[in-house]
Amino acid sequence: MNRLADKVALVTGAASGLGRADARAMVEEGARVLLTDVNEAAGAEVAAQLNSLRAGCAAFMVHDVRDERRWEEATAECMRRFGALNILVNNAGVVVIATPETTTLEQFRFANAVMSEGVFLGCKAAIPAMRDCGGGSIINMSSVASHLGYPVFFAYGAAKGAVRAMTKSIAVHCQMNKYGIRCNSIHAGAIETPMVEQANAALGMKMQDYQAAPWGLGRPEDVAHLVVYLASDESRFVNGAELMIDNALTVQ
């Protein structure tokens, strides 16, 4: 307990799935968290649930990660409400199901606007605030799709590949400028989330299909434990890394 005491986090896509699990795990370790999402009802409900665990530990705001102005408002809200910004979890994501031949330019731009441009804008907005707070940890959600070929998730894989590359440049930039900000990427395999379930359903698959595979199906908490570690001072020498959490899927 209290591995993240006195730290403030901003988590995007926090209304469900990995974002919700990340926010809860950090709150349980003493952090205060600003949750953001485009789903206002679900996001507000998650914040209320977290505040029932510890009063005043969580707040929610509607946030489209494609909107640069809204990113500025989100970082400012962290400072106004909690007085700091120490942790950023760029988690918001979408899945477009289409191959390289069937993906439309509109679909490709949409996926990359959310997951590539959204991460860029988040890091750009958060770095000055985190620097002024004495440093911190940026955690970018990439995917095993940045390492493996998934033709039906072509736009998703392209965006996650961009996140993988941006993470390393951000880590080096902050290190060279002595900001005290670390930046790492997480590459999860199949995790039991609503987004994965919906994507599978669209492809005529069931979650049991993943469970039957050798690598199985992970839980959101499996990723959240890694997020807590990267957010904490325990990982002070982990920087620019890509951490796989896929039960050996990518090495088979």
Q: DSSP code of 150?
A: -
Q: From the CA atom positions of the chain, what is the Rg in Å?
A: 17
Q: Residue 112, by phi and psi: left (phi above 0), alpha (psi -120 to 50) or beta?
A: alpha
Q: Coil, strand, or helix at residue 99? A: coil
210 is catalytic: no
Q: Residue 5, by phi and psi: left (phi above 0), alpha (psi -120 to 50) or beta?
A: beta
- 141 Cβ neighbours under 8 A, 6+ residues apart: 18, 89, 90, 91, 93, 163, 185, 186, 188
Give me 60's structure tokens: 């929610």
The whole-angstrom separation of Cα 66 and Cα 191 is: 25
Catalytic residue among 150, 156, 210, 229: 156
Residue 223 to residues 95, 189, 199: CA-CA distances in angstroms?
Answer: 19, 10, 19
Q: Measuring CA to CA, which residue among 188, 164, 144, 168 is closest to residue 238? A: 168
Q: Measuring CA to CA, which residue among 119, 88, 82 is closest to residue 26? A: 88
Residues noted as catalytic: 156
